Structure 1
């Protein structure tokens, strides 16, 4: 076996290990996000899809707690939320690592560490396409479970509350596998520009917080949390109107194109309706994304050390 062949195989093994590490680190980060932020995510979805039922974030939170309880109300949809976040973040961060390497090669950089903020943001933009494909079905189930009580209140025929697996079977039986991908186009339209700003904001903040001569990876967990919170805040400020449209498509089973639904919301409810649920989202985002990046970065460091990558 030639030296070139051995080097090629070693390089492939290194890439496989790096992809596995990003996948595992993203998965653990996804689990952390759900348990930190699920109650306020439930409030967000309810306010987005049935804004007339609530006077604001506190009213929605207290009514949900009173009428549905803590676990079945505020933590409704936790299982599909965990699946959604693990699926999204494992694929997102694995694809992000791969896209970083691709952009580094295209731009002539020797390593990912040399990428500037725009290069990292672009990697996030392309990585989000792949994560959207895994996120859409699981988030559809999560959103419908979270707003199930509100949907039933608007129906003349009351139906029994069901769990994630029965709901999934019900959707597939009625609409086929394609029914699980309702809202895919609005999910992609939300995710790709959103994650451009998400990773751009995160990497730019890490760069600003690093001391002269210090690597971004060595800024410590406190500054990593600050950078994660900035990235998450920028993400939601940019994508929130698209997220409102996606939630309505998925929860209310709307068939019109996403752009038409957005126009209808503005015409019938005013432009502020596109920001219903923004307050609980931003409050949730700060601890959730801070936790996400700490879990991701430190899991990645530990696994990289253990696997000698």
Structure 2
């Protein structure tokens, strides 16, 4: 995402709002693919392709099931995006003080700032993704001893987990989320800053790259960040997919890794990667478009409205 130089602007609230619009657009556009990814990762059968899973969902649960659980990330996306933008802006400068505050952060600062941002945001993201995954997998996780077990929304899931497992249960998967998001954000920010500069030399300082440049650079950054951390994401999904009403199958990260590989082979660690990569490009495109359009609408002084959109890469 385009974190520089917007967060040095005095009207920080506009970036907060724009970040919220971008986050909402990304979630809405990519959520069906996210549901397919989660189902692929949690499936015990390696033969379940995204197309077969999609057909099964539409046939047995209806199209609305592709958006089940979207309320949890939507409810937190504005604050989460604003927090990520602000933390990254601060950390990317703090990790390399040799660069002037008037200049964009160095690539070293970008990477380290991304790692720190990913680690910190995990504190908010862990319970949100836990609730989301529980809703996305509700039908296949319904215990036989609780045939009427059905949550109506994210609050119902959160109350159930908190009641049965306490606050610790809400943070199941925190460790693996940190291990996933810290390096992934480092790769994400570094790739984005590097690629936008390659597509449009000098744009990191001038801020005059085209919208197309931001979309493509962001899409590539999203793909790179997913590829580097994908096996960790599979383990995270399996840990957080366990029903709070049934005995836990996995006792931790290592135990989940061993049992998953023993049952389904090493290929399980990459199951659903194609769906995740496709979603990453779609989501980042939507996020960048919504974010930049919102900034241009919110800023009336013309600074952001002048960003070119028609230039070629």
Classify the TM-score, shorter chain: 0.7 to 0.9
The aligned residue for residue 246 of structure 1 is 236
Q: CA deviation at 1:251?
A: 0.9
What CA distance in whole angstroms lies between the structure 2 residues aligned with 1:265 and 1:112?
49
> Is 1:102–2:94 an aligned residue pair?
yes
The aligned residue for residue 7 of structure 1 is none
Aligned length: 292
Q: Which has the higher helix share?
A: 1
Secondary structure of 1:110 counterpart: coil
Q: CA deviation at 1:78?
A: 1.2
In the alignment, structure 2 segments of 5+ residues that lack a partner are 1-6, 305-313
Q: CA deviation at 1:54?
A: 5.7
TM-score in terms of structure 2 length: 0.84
What CA distance in whole angstroms lies between the structure 1 residues aligned with 2:93 and 2:204?
22
TM-score in terms of structure 1 length: 0.85
The aligned residue for residue 41 of structure 2 is 48
What CA distance in whole angstroms lies between the structure 1 residues aligned with 2:18 and 2:52?
36
Q: Is the 8 A contact 1:33 1:292 kept in 2?
A: yes
The Cα offsets for residues 194-241 of structure 1, whole Å up to 9 and x where unpaired, read as: 000011111111110114678462111111100110010001101111
With 158-167 and 140-149 compared, the bigger mean Cα shift is at 158-167
Q: CA deviation at 1:260?
A: 2.6
The aligned residue for residue 159 of structure 1 is 148
Q: CA deviation at 1:268?
A: 2.3
What CA distance in whole angstroms lies between the structure 2 residues aligned with 1:213 and 1:36?
28
Q: Map residues 76-87 of structure 1 onto 2, 5 A cutoff.
A: 76-87=68-79
The aligned residue for residue 199 of structure 1 is 189
The aligned residue for residue 170 of structure 2 is 180
The aligned residue for residue 225 of structure 1 is 215
Q: CA deviation at 1:93?
A: 1.4
What CA distance in whole angstroms lies between the structure 2 residues aligned with 1:130 and 1:23?
18
RMSD: 2.6
Q: CA deviation at 1:125?
A: 1.0
Q: 1:82 to 1:23 in 2, by over 3 A?
A: same
In the alignment, structure 1 segments of 5+ residues that lack a partner are 1-13
Secondary structure of 1:218 counterpart: coil
